[in-house]
Amino acid sequence: MDIPARDALLDGLDLRASGKGLGAEIIGVDLRRIDDAAFEALHLAWLDHLVLLVRNQTLNDAELIAFSRRFGDLDLAPIQETGRRFVEGLPELYVVSNVMEKGEPIGSLGHGEAVWHTDMSYVEVPPKASLLFALETPAAGGNTSFVNMYAVYDALPDMLKRRIASLRVKHDGTYNSGGFVRQGVTPSEDPREAPGALHPLVYTHPETGRAALYLGRRRNAYIDGLELAESEALLNQLWDHVDQSGFVWTHAWRPGDLVIWDNRCTMHRRDAFDAATRRILHRTQVKGERRPA
């Protein structure tokens, strides 16, 4: 698309950037009814800002799924920690919740911290986007933070960029970000043995052409071909750059918030919250494109 056409599309959006290096709020839209031009503008803004927030939405599950499909085909949600599907008949839907019904959690991740991660990077072709919609949120706590992994990559020292240029990292499939063991997995604490998928440490985003550091999650990660101690040291060094990154935007949820993140160039984490409060969010995940070997 040429620059004037792009600018004209983006002009139609009421957008407020967070000022934190990623993240923007889109104001005054009803996602159930946006037309193709408005969706295209939103999509462009999403590629630019990596994470979009749209507040005050009323989306039932079918509407959340229908809107999510505008980004592409959906992936099925991972199975719940209890081994169950979250919502019978809606396999695309992932539920994040601490709420218990009949002695069982209705969703995943509990009420504790969820550590930095990208969604489902332990599979060969991870989703390109996740859409998370808030139904019930506690008055305080449970904020979700996002980090810009293009910026983290750009800020690495040149020597480190050269060192990781052709390395691959295994993204662990044992634990989810809440620290719970995934359904059907026998946990192993040896990162070399743990199940997972190998991905290039430096990922070239297929739509923007920009390079991002692609770490997934820290626990049980392993850099293919290195001695374990060497892999641990290099991973710690890379994660230090994430922890020191200034490119973090934190979102405090209200019911009706939809947050859409680019899962290829961001990671996210969640703060803990009071177990006695209720937090329910519904998520979809959009299929990614096959990554270059």
Q: Which residues would be at the binding site for ligand OGA (CB under 6 A)?
A: 96, 109, 114, 119, 130, 132, 144, 177, 268, 270, 281, 283
Q: Return all residues near 193 (Cβ < 8 A) that are at least 6 apart.
A: none
Parallel, antiparallel or unpaired: strands 24-26 and 51-54: parallel
List the single partner that 96 binds among Mn ion, ligand OGA, none, CB under 5 to 8 Å by kind: ligand OGA
Residues in the chain, how many?
293
Closer residue to Mn ion, CB minimum distance, 25 or 119? 119
Nearer to Mn ion, 119 or 257 (CB): 119
CB within 8 A of 5, min separation 6: which ones?
Answer: none
Q: Based on CB atoms, which residue is closest to ligand OGA, 164 or 286?
A: 286
CA 66 from chain centre, in angstroms, equals 19
Cβ-based neighbours of 275, under 8 Å, separated by 6 or more: 98, 111
Radius of gyration of the chain (CA): 19
Q: Return phi, psi of residue 286, to 5°.
A: -95, 130
Residue given tokens 């998928």 in the structure block: 197
Please report how close the Cβ of residue 117 comes to Mn ion at its closest, in angstroms: 6
- Nearest to ligand OGA of 129, 281 (CB atom): 281
Q: Least CB distance from residue 180 to ligand OGA, whole Å? A: 12
Give min distance, CB of 276 to ligand OGA, in A.
17
Which of the choices Mn ion, ligand OGA, none does residue 109 contact, using the CB cut-off of 5 to 8 A by kind?
A: ligand OGA
Residues of this chain that bind Mn ion (CB under 5 A): 119
Phi, psi of 162, rounded to the nearest 5 degrees: -65, -40
By a kind-dependent CB cut-off of 5 to 8 A, residue 144 interacts, out of ligand OGA, Mn ion, none, with ligand OGA
Tokens of 267: 């990671």
Cβ of residue 114: shortest distance to ligand OGA, in angstroms? 5
Contact 261, 130 (CB under 8 A): yes
283 binds, among Mn ion, ligand OGA, none (CB under 5 to 8 A by kind): ligand OGA
Which CB, 148 or 177, lies closer to ligand OGA?
A: 177
- Between 41 and 270, name the residue whose CB sits nearer to Mn ion: 270
Q: From the CB of 58, what's the least distance to ligand OGA, in Å?
A: 20
**CB of residue 225 vs Mn ion: minimum separation in angstroms?**
28
- Select the binding partner of residue 270 from ligand OGA, Mn ion, none (C-beta < 5 to 8 A, by kind): ligand OGA
* DSSP secondary structure code for residue 43 in this structure: H
Residue 9 or 212 with smaller CB distance to Mn ion: 212
Closest approach, Cβ 176 to Mn ion, in A, equals 8
Residue with tokens 């020292």: 157
Query: Token digits for 176?
Result: 């989810």
Contact 96, 40 (CB under 8 A): no
